[in-house]
Chain A
Amino acid sequence: MKTMIATRDFKDAGTGRAFAAGHPIEDVSAAILGNYEAAGLASADGDTADAGAATDAEAAAATVDTPTPAKRKAAPRRRKAAAAS
């Protein structure tokens, strides 16, 4: 049986068990896991659809061209005052 990961913190009122986000859900029957998965509380990779959308947004933001930093202006040359003729 594949390991299912809790997508967020949740608890089961019937069994009294609580599960932490990102942690494997253990000692739970496949049928009960099916309910958790249907509710979006468990997935094979720990991501919910909402979380997936968030990561997609992050990925999209990462591909946006970032402007190149402005070049530092060269310091003006100091010209020594012309020697008094």
Chain B
Amino acid sequence: MPGSTTAAGSTLAISAGTPSAQTAAAFAALAFTVIGGLDKIGPVPSATFAKVEFQPLLGGKDKLKGSADYGSMAPSAAYDDSDAGQTLLRTAAADETQKLYAFKTTYPNGTVVYAQGRVFSAPDTIEGADSVLMTNADIGITTKPIKA
């Protein structure tokens, strides 16, 4: 299929900086640190709207768009405490303030999605002896994603 691609080569990067505006240019001006060792990024930030239904007396059911939810990301990575991006991710998870961190998801074709959010957890997971020690994060996206 023309235009299709695998996920190989995708990256997720994090920044402790704050964009001056919610624009692609403002996000692009930030310095992002790639999170190394990822095997999965999960859902890329996008808007999901609450569905508000209204059934008029006359006619079919109307469905209206309610409040927006920009979703969550669930990246998983092979634990590496020497990786700067993973360390910043863990720092963001341990952050007890409401500070927003910026995230940049890059597709293999160069498409970029920017958004801000908070890292709610990044626990390490130890499974069986023949498995890799993993870090799995839960990132709540709070700003409208910007695709560039």
A interface with B by C-beta (< 8 Å): 8-14, 29, 31-32, 34-36, 38-41
Contacts and interface: CB of A to CB of B under 8 A. Distances in A.
Contacts of A11: 36, 82-84
A39 B13 contact: no
B88 A13 contact: no
B118 to A, nearest CB: 14
Nearest to B36: A13
A85 B13 CA distance: 102
Interface of B: 11, 13-17, 30-37, 82-85, 87-88, 91
Given A13-B37, A14-B11, A39 B84 contact: yes
A14 B34 contact: yes
B135 to A, nearest CB: 13
A82 to B, nearest CB: 79
B16 A14 contact: no
A12 B84 contact: yes
A12 B33 contact: yes
A14 B82 contact: no
A14 B82 CA distance: 13
Nearest to B33: A35
Given A35-B15, A35-B16, A38-B16, A13 B87 contact: no
Max chain B Cβ within 10 angstroms of own Cβ: one of A8, A29, A39: A39
A13 B34 contact: yes
A14 B33 contact: yes
Given A14-B33, A40-B91, A35 B84 contact: yes
A70 to B, nearest CB: 46
Contacts of A34: 16-17, 31
